[in-house]
Amino acid sequence: MDEILEILEQDARVGAEEIAKLIKQDTKTVSKKIKKFEKDGVILGYKAVINKELIGSCENELRALIEVKVVPQKNLGFDHIAERIFQFREVTSCYLVSGTYDLLLVVEGKDMHTISNFVAEKLSPMENVRGTVTHFLLKKYKEDGVVLKHRDENKRITISY
């Protein structure tokens, strides 16, 4: 992978000037390359990894991984059904995977009821969906390569016998 992309993938806040110093290139050249990556769709966006636990965010606070078994459509394969599924606003990520299930979804909702309604009313009734398994995420330790710090919780008392 290009050095510029590697640097931006680790920290999107690094400016063209700093990248130029790191890779010993001209700032103008680096800026042009970044603009080209953006134009060509290589760089799709920039985002911050937010530890919502520390800010007390309640919106979309529950995440689930949903394994989906589908029947691929003739001449369309998995792509067509995946595109229909990832259009739902609840779906934040959609992957084709190997194994027992075909698609892996990351779904967000404000509570368990919202996610279960999504599965029952939108996902499961779809024509090519043959089965689902939902795993609710209970605690996040690391996201996108970033270790998340957690609030100090009441420590359990050590009991020994």
List the domain boundaries for the chain. Answer: 3-39, 56-138
Question: What is the token pair recorded at 79?
Answer: 């792509």
Q: Name the pLDDT band for 159 (thresholds 50, 70, 90).
A: confident
- What CATH class has 56-138? alpha beta
- Give me the phi and psi of 10, to 5 degrees please: -75, -40
User: How many CA within 13 A on the CB side of residue 144?
Assistant: 11
* Side chain identity, residue 36: K
- Sign of the Cα torsion 129, 133, 136, 139 reads negative
What pTM did the predictor assign?
0.73
pLDDT class for 90, splitting at 50, 70, 90?
very high
